[in-house]
Amino acid sequence: SNVEGKLNENSFPPGFLFGTATSAHQIEGAWNLNGKGENLWDRFTHTYPERILDGSNGDTACDSYHKYKEDVAIMKEMGIQFYRFSLSWSRILPAGFSYKINPDGIRYYNDLINALLENNIIPMITLFHWDMPQTLQDLGGFSNELIVNWFEEYVKVAFEHFGDRVKLWITFNEPITICMYGYGRDTLAPAYNSSGISDYLCGHNLLKAHASAYHLYKNKYESKQKGKIGITLVSHWFESSSTFQTDLQAAQRKREFVFDWFAKPIFHPNGDYPEIMKKRIAFRSEAEGFTQSRLPQFSREEIEYIKGTYDYLGLNHYTTLMTSDAEEDAISDPSFDKDARVKSYYNPEWPSAASPWLKVVPWGFRKLLNYISNRYKDVPIFITENGFSDHEGLNDQERIDYYEQYLSALLDAIHEDGVNVKGYAAWSLLDNFEWKDGYVHRFGLVHVNFTDPERPRTKKASAQYYTEILRLRRLPKKKSFQIDSNFIW
């Protein structure tokens, strides 16, 4: 309407927070130093180096264990308002259980938190970003229901030691990635490769573990510490390939199997799994000869215990997939994909990142935000990850383009659609250990030289661009962002 209104539409709202994100195993290194216990990714990469694209591991990674002060200084220079990082469970509890606390683990995170606060950067802690202590993985990890107790013991230690200064907590990073890629398939550790069984079991126990951590915080810590606690879910946007009912329903089914699998039990007033999942999995389980559905059932009490366990929703989002209806597969072995019965593919015209799964589709971000906001009644959303991978280099114009387009879609979701987004974290602050892709696919705003034992950091053009967004609190013209050097990687 007026000039001010127009300006505001290009601007991020006053209280909106900008940050960057990392995770412990991807950046810390120091895998066996000063009392840290072995975790599942240490074991996996040491045992099966051939499963990692460059045969690498997280033994040293960015060496942020030693270089955290430099990381904080870089964020300070960039004007970063919050830093999302994760705690390494086995650095704090080397044996997994809380009978043995590693003082150096407590010391390390205290130092990091204090350095952030001294620089006016708000710490946001992910309690679990995939690095299960090996001791607990040996007992089945998320396939053992006792994970609920183990996780509660561990988060209690975190709340006790860090909760006086940390006000933003996330229980789990991407349950579906853990359960589908780690338990259902063999893409990520522990690679159980038991689709349609182990993935659902993992999800079931993880949801209960999340709820118990939430209740512990609310009952014992919130009144004193006054923080907020949520969970980070990840989802692509799934776009129907046609307007045929069957395809529209398939796209919706896929959204429910991927996003609502974990969102509905927590964020919907009725709780529990999506009806379509319960129905499809029960139907195929019976046809396969199972005596019960492969999707475990929540009791009435469990539904009540899990629903509403959030202060906010953390959302990781990267890309979009086209979907269409698939034929009912012949009854054979259990499989998540056969349960969902949806075909998916990328539009070949979409630009690709180095990671083959990551295509640049900014409108999908806006659609996903609207989907979530409509379904879950304006739930406060923190974007806890969004970013782009390339091979290596400082003049990362493609990353700048990605951020420009995705942040513009985010502004539309906020201003035109009224989606309640509280903040945004770029994945990632640093080039880091990208799980099975090793150091080949790089997501950093800041370059790390992994062949140099000092792990020197150099800001990329995208770091300058992000700095400028944070300074202006709107999207700047991007032409001027160039690294003035002759680096050839």
Q: Least distance (Å) from ligand PNW to the CB of residue 385? A: 6
Three state DSSP letters for the chain: CCHHHHHHHCECCCCCEEEEECCHHHHCCCCCCCCCCCEHHHHHHHHCHHHCCCCCCCCCCCCHHHHHHHHHHHHHHHCCCEEEEECCHHHHCCCCCCCCCCHHHHHHHHHHHHHHHHCCCEEEEEEECCCCEHHHHCCCHHHCCCHHHHHHHHHHHHHHHHCCCCCEEEEEECHHHHHHHHHHCCCCCCCCCCCCCHHHHHHHHHHHHHHHHHHHHHHHHHHHHCCEEEEEEECCEEEECCCCHHHHHHHHHHHHHHHHHHHHHHHCCCCCCCHHHHHHHHHHHHHHCCCCCCCCCCCHHHHHHHCCCCCEEEEECCCEEEEEECCCCCCCCCCHHHHHCEEEECCCCCCECCCCCCECCHHHHHHHHHHHHHHCCCCCEEEEECCCCECCCCCCHHHHHHHHHHHHHHHHHHHCCCCCEEEEEEECCECCCCHHHCCCCECCCEEECCCCCCCCEEECHHHHHHHHHHHHCECCCCCCCCCCCCCCC
What residues numbered 81-140 form the site for ligand PNW, per CB under 6 A? none
Using CB under 6 A as the binding rule, the residues of this chain from 232 to 271 that contact ligand PNW are: 234
Is 174 annotated as catalytic?
A: yes
Q: Of the two residues 67 and 317, which places its CB atom closer to ligand PNW in the complex?
A: 317
Site string for ligand PNW, 25-64 (x = CB under 6 A): -x--------------------------------------
Using the minimum distance from each CB to ligand PNW, give the nearer residue, 90 or 102: 90
Q: Give, in order, the Cα–Cα distances in Å from 94 to each of 103, 161, 293.
A: 10, 16, 37
Q: Nearest distance from residue 126's CB to ligand PNW, in Å? A: 9
Which of these is catalytic: 174, 392, 398, 434? 174
Q: Which two tokens stand for residue 486?
A: 């002759």
Among 28, 174, 339, 390, binds ligand PNW (CB under 6 A): 174
At its nearest, how many Å lie between ligand PNW and the CB of residue 266?
18
Residues of this chain, 329-358, that bind ligand PNW according to CB under 6 A:
357
The smaller minimum CB distance to ligand PNW, of residues 134 and 316, is found at 316
- Binding flags for ligand PNW, 274-303, as an x/- string (CB under 6 A): ------------------------------
Instruction: Output the six-digit token pair for 285.
Output: 């389980």
Stretch of residues binding ligand PNW (CB under 6 A), selected from 7-15, 43-51, 104-112, 173-181? 173-181
Scan residues 355-394 and list those touching ligand PNW (CB under 6 A): 357, 385
What number of chain residues touch ligand PNW (CB under 6 A)?
13
Active-site annotation holder among 28, 239, 256, 385: 385
The distance of closest approach from Cβ of residue 324 to ligand PNW in the complex, given in angstroms and rounded to an integer, is: 19
| Least distance to ligand PNW, CB of residue 448, Å | 14
**Residue number with CB closer to ligand PNW (31 or 443):** 443
CB neighbour class for 303 (10 Å; exposed up to 12, middle 13-18, buried from 19): middle
Q: Which residue, 94 or 182, has its beta carbon nearer to ligand PNW? A: 182
User: Rounded CA gap, 104 and 92, in Å?
Assistant: 8
Binding mask 413-452 vs ligand PNW (x if CB under 6 A, - otherwise)?
--------------x------x--------x---------
- Do the beta carbons of residue 14 and residue 4 sit within 8 Å? no
Nearer to ligand PNW, 125 or 234 (CB): 234
Question: Segment near ligand PNW (CB under 6 A), from 56-64, 171-179, 342-350, 444-452?
Answer: 171-179
Contact flag: residue 23 with ligand PNW (CB under 6 A): yes
**For ligand PNW, which residue of 177, 225, 249, 352 counts as binding (CB under 6 A)?**
177
**Listed ranges 89-97, 137-145, 158-166, 170-178: which one lies at the site for ligand PNW (CB under 6 A):** 170-178
Minimum gap (Å) between residue 101 Cβ and ligand PNW: 26
Distance in Å from the first CA to the final CA of the chain: 49
Question: What minimum distance in Å lies between the beta carbon of 335 and ligand PNW?
Answer: 18
Residues lying near ligand PNW in the complex (CB under 6 A): 23, 26, 173-174, 177, 234, 316, 318, 357, 385, 427, 434, 443
Catalytic annotation, residues = 174, 385
